[in-house]
Amino acid sequence: MSRGHQPILELHDITKAFGGVEALRGVDFALTAGEIHGLVGENGAGKSTLMKIIAGVHADFSGRFVLDGKETRFRSVRDAHAAGIAMVHQELSVAPDLTVAENVFLGNQPTNRLGLVQWRRMAREAGEQLKRFGIDVDPMSRLGDLPIGLQQLIEIARVLSSGARIIILDEPTSALSPPEVERLFTTLKRLRDEGTSIVFISHFIEDILRVSDTVTVFRNGRKVAETAASETSKPALIEAMIGKGREALEETYTHDIMLPPPTDQPVVLNANGLTLAGRLREVSFEARAGEVLGIYGFMGCGQLELARILFGKIKPDLGTLAVAGNQKAFRSTADARRSGIAFVPESRRDMLFLQEPVYKNVSISILDRISSLLLKPSRERAIANRQVEQLRIRPAAVDLDLGMLSGGNQQKVALAKWLSYPPRLLVLCEPTRGMDVGAKNDVIHIVRDLRAKGLAIIVLSTEPETVLSLADRVIVLKRGAVVREFANEQISKDRLLEAA
Amino acid sequence: MTSGESVTVAADRKRPRGLAAMLRSQMRNIAPFLTLICLFSFFAVASPSFATLDNFGNILTQISVTGIIAVGLTFVILCAEIDLSVAAIANVTGIAVAYFTLQESYVNIANVPMPGWAAILLALALCALLGLVNAFGLTVIGIPSFIMTLAMMQIAAGVSALLVRGQIAYKVPPLVTTLGSTSIGGIPWIVIVAALMLLGGHLVLTYTRFGRYVYMVGGNREAAEYSGLNVKLILGSVMVISAVCAGIGGMLGVAHFGSAQQNEFDTYLLDSIAAVVVGGTSLFGGRGGIGNTIVGLFVLGVLNNGLDHVNIDSFLKILIRGLILLAALIINVYAQRLRERAAE
C-alpha cells in the first residue's frame, strides 16, 4: 500500500457561491496517490460542490487548485478528463436505449480505418471489461432493460476502467444490493493498490468506514474534520456532521425527543408489502387518524416512489393499500383523491399553476365539491380568501397570479388546496425544503393543527429536522426497505442517522 | 451599468403592473387583433370592393366551416395536444351522411338509403367513434397525439375512399341541406350554426368545470395530475369533442359545397389549425380560448378573401398565407416566453 505519499491534488482556501449563497467557505482538501478518501456530510454541506470543482463542472470559484505540484484551473469537464480525473455523478448518466457495449465505450468506440464502428470488437472488449468487475451481462443487450443497480455498476465500471488516476464516486451505492456493494468495494481496493486515488461520497457511514483510508467531514460548506478511517467511528462522524448545536441558529435536534405513546385512533391507511422493482421491497406500515407518521431515508431510498404509490401515480408491482379498511387499487390520482387522499409533492412546480391566479390554485382539487356543471367563481374566491387568511399567505390577493408569490407562500398555497375539505390522509413530501425559518414554523403549525383535527398525515423527508419536528412516529427506509420504526421512545438526529 | 439601474430593473420585474408589462403579458391577445386591423385596413384601401356589407357576408360564410372545426380544435390545443385528423374526419362524416341518403339514379354508389334523422345520427356516431379511437390511442396506449391523429387522418381518408369509391354523391338529408346551403332573413344558416357553436364552446370553456379542467391540464399537466384530476379522461374528452365538431363541419360543408367526394376538405386542416394558433391560443396549452379563435378566423378570412380582391398573382397567395402563418407562430411562441418572464 502506498499511503503517505505526496499529495497529487491539493486545494487551498476554496470558496464557491451560488447566487449569493456560499456553498463552500475556505475549504482545504488534499488527495494522495493510492488512497480512498471518504467524504461525509449532510445534504448541502458542500461535498458534491467540491467534487464538481475537481471534476471541472464548476469552473468559477476562488482559491488555489494544485495538480501534481502545479497550479491549474480546469475550464471544463474535458480539461479534467484530459488530466485523468473522472466522476460518477449521483444521477445516472447512461444512455438507456443504447447497448451495454455502446455505453461502456460511449464517446470512444473502436473504429476501423474507414471510421466504421467495429461492433464485434466493441462487444468482446466490453464483455471482458465488465467481467473483470464481476458483471456478467450480454454486451449487446439494451442497457435500459437491466436493473437500476446493474446500470449503476456498469456506469461505475466504465469510469473505473477509463484509466483515470483520480476517480470521484458520488453516492455510488444508493441503488446497489449488498453483494453488488461488496463487489464494488473489492474493485475499489484493487484500483487503490494499483495507485489510483478515489474519492467516495456516501450517506452510508458504514460503507465509508469499511472502504476508506481517510475520512473528511463537511458541515455548512466547511471542512470540520479529517481523520484516518481506522481512528474514528460512526457516532463520532455523525457528531461531527451535525455539530453540537453551537454553530447553527436553528434547532438541530441533537438532544433527545420523546415520541408520544401510540394512539388508539382508527387506522386510515394500511400499506401491505408494497414492492416496486428496483425501488421498494415489501414496505408495510399503517397511518392512523390524528397522528403524523414520518418516513425518513436518504436520497434514493425509495420514498419518492412510495409517496407516488400512495397517491395513485405509480402502480406497485406487488402489495396492497387499504383506506379505512377497504382495499384500494388506484387507477389514477383522481381515484386516490376521491378516496380522501391528498398529496403535496417535493417540488412546488409539479403541483401549482404559476400562471393562474391564487384562487384557481386553491380550488382546483375541490371544484367537484363546490360546483356541479357550472363554476361558481365567487364561492371559489370566498374559500380562497378564507385559506389565505388562515394560512397567512402574503400578499393576500386571490386574483394575483401565483407566480408573483414568494416560494414559501407558494408552498402554503400547495397545502391550502387540500384544506377546505380536509382529506382523510395527507401525504407531504419535503414540506419545509428550502424555506426560511418563519415559513418553516408556519408549516409546522399548519400540520399540527391538521393533526389536531383528526387527519392522518404522512411526512416523507430526507432532512432529519423535518421529520423530527413533525412526526409522532418515524419509520426509516433504507434501500427501499423499512429498517427501523421509532415509536413511544427517545429519538434524536444521531439515532435517526444511525438507523438509516 | 451602475448598481442603481440594476436595482430598478429587478424591482420592475417583481412588480409587472406598468402599462408596458401589461401589454407584454397580453401580447397574445393584442397581436392577432392588431394583425386583423392592419389586414382589414390594407384591403379596404387597396380594393373598393372589399369593405362592403356584401363582402363582409361573404367572409362570414367562407369562414363558417373552418370555424365549426376550429371550435373542437381549440379545446385540443388548449390541452397542449394536436388533432391532425379533423379535416379527414370532416370529410368522412360528410361522405357518410350522403352515403346513408337516397341519391339520384345516375350516382353510381352502392349506398344504404335511410331516413334523414338516421343518416345524421349514424354520421355523428361515426365521427364520435373515430374521436374515441383517437382518445384511446392517446390516453390508454400512450401514442403522442401528433402521431395518433396522423394515423387517424389516413384511416378516415381510407373509410371515405371505400364509401364513395371515386364517385361523387350530391344528396344529403333535408335538415343538413337547410343548415348548410340556405339562409334565413338574409343570414346563411351555416353562419348561424358556426356562431352558435363558437358561443357554446366559449361558454363551456369559461363557465363550466370541464372548461376549467381543460385550461388547468393545458397549463401544467403534472400539477393537474397531482391535484387529483383525471387527466386522461379530460384529454380523451377533448379528442372526442374535436372529432364531433369536425364531423358537424363536414356534414354542413358537404351541403354547402353541394357534393360529397374524396379529398374535399384537405385545405381545412391547415386553415383550422392556423385559425386557432393565429388567434393566439398557446401551442403549449393553457392560454387562449374561443375569443382568440374567432379573431384568428377573421384574420384568415380577411386574408383569403382580400387577396382575391386585389390584383395579385394567384400563385403568390399561397406563399403569402404561409408567411403570415409563420409570423403568427413566431408571435405565439414569443408571447409565451414574455408571459413566463412576467410571471417570474
Its ipTM equals: 0.80
Instruction: Answer whether B209 sits within 8 Å of A364, measured CB to CB.
Output: no
What is this structure's pTM?
Answer: 0.77
pLDDT (0 to 100) of residue B7: 34
Q: What is the pLDDT of residues A55-112, one digit of tens each?
A: 888 888 889 999 888 898 888 888 888 889 988 887 777 788 888 888 888 777 788 8
Residue recorded with cell 379596404: B44
- How far apart are the C-alpha atoms of A303 and A308, rounded to whole Å? 9
Say how far apart CA B198 and CA B298 lie, in whole Å: 13
Q: Which candidate from A344, A353, A403 shows the least CB-CB separation from B344?
A: A403
d(CA B112, CA B102): 7
Q: Beta A7-18 vs A62-67: how paired, if at all?
A: antiparallel
Q: Is A396 on the interface with B (CB under 8 A)?
A: no
Please indicate whether, in this complex, the C-beta atoms of B212 and A375 are within 8 angstroms of each other.
yes
Helix or strand holding residue B107 (H, E): none
CA distance B340 to chain A (A): 8
Buried b (16+ CB within 10 A) or exposed e, A332-341: bbbbbbebbb
Give the mean pLDDT of chain A. 84
Cα distance between residue B297 and residue A19, in whole Å:
47
Instruction: Inspect the interface and report whether the beta carbons of B220 and A313 lie closer than 8 Å.
Output: no
CA distance B176 to B259: 12
Which chain B residues touch A355 with a CB distance below 8 Å? 219, 286-287, 339-340, 343
pLDDT in tens, B170-210: 888 889 888 988 888 889 999 999 999 999 999 999 999 99
> For the ranges A234-248, A299-313, B258-272, which has the lowest average pLDDT?
A234-248
Q: How far apart are CA A370 and CA A377, in angstroms?
A: 10
Confidence label for A244 from pLDDT (cuts 50, 70 and 90): low
CA-CA distance, A122 to A111, in Å (whole number)?
9
Q: Is B285 left (phi over 0), alpha (psi -120 to 50) or beta?
A: left
Closest Cα in chain A, distance from residue B170 (Å): 41
> Which of A54-63, A154-163, A356-365, B269-278 is the least confident region?
A154-163
Which residue, B282, B317, B269, B229, is CA-closest to B74?
Answer: B282
What residues pair up with A227 in beta bridges, in sequence order? Answer: A215
CB contact (8 A) between residue B207 and residue A374 = yes
At which residue does the C-alpha cell 482559491 appear?
Answer: A63
Question: Does the beta carbon of A400 lie under 8 angstroms from any beta carbon of chain B?
Answer: no
Q: Distance, in angstroms, between A367 CA and closest chain B CA?
A: 7
| For residue B243, pLDDT beyond 90 | yes
Residue A74 near residue A83 (C-beta atoms within 8 A): yes
Mean pLDDT throughout A284-291?
90
Residue A356 near chain B (CB below 8 Å): yes
Nearest 5°: the CA angle A320, A416, A250 is: 90
Quote the pLDDT of residue B240: 97
CA angle A440-A337-A280, nearest 5°?
75
Return the number of CB contacts < 8 Å for A and B: 87
Own/partner pairs for B44-49, CB < 8 Å, 24+ apart?
Answer: B46/B306, B46/B309, B46/B310, B47/B306, B47/B309, B47/B310, B49/B309
Cβ atoms A353, A438 nearer than 8 A: no
| Arithmetic mean of pLDDT over chain B | 86
Comparison of pLDDT for B24 and A312, the residue scoring more: A312
Cell of B178: 337547410
Predicted pLDDT of residue B18 = 65
pLDDT at A59: 85
Q: How far apart are the first and last CA of chain B?
A: 23
Instruction: Tell me the three cell numbers of residue B213.
Output: 379542467
| CA end-to-end distance (rounded Å), chain A | 32
pLDDT of res. B210: 95
Segment among A101-105, A389-393, B102-106, B229-233 with least mean pLDDT? B102-106
- Whole-number pLDDT of residue B331: 78
Give the pLDDT score at B12. Answer: 37
Q: Are the beta carbons of A332 and B231 separated by less than 8 Å?
A: yes
Q: Quote the pLDDT of residue B207.
A: 94
Nearest to A332 among B230, B286, B340 (CB): B230
- Asked if pLDDT for residue B340 goes beyond 70, the answer is no
Question: For residue B11, what pLDDT is reported?
Answer: 36
Most confident region among A14-23, A130-139, A450-459, B325-334 by mean pLDDT: A450-459
Cα-based angle A225, A230, A233 (whole degrees, multiple of 5) = 65
Closest Cβ opposite residue B209 in set A313, A365, A367:
A367
pLDDT band at B224 (very low <50, low <70, confident <90, very high): very high
Query: Is the confidence at residue B14, as pLDDT, over 50?
Result: no
- Order of strands across the sheet with A62-67? A21-32, A7-18, A62-67, A70-71
Instruction: Detail the DSSP E strand segments found in A78-181.
Output: 85-88, 166-170
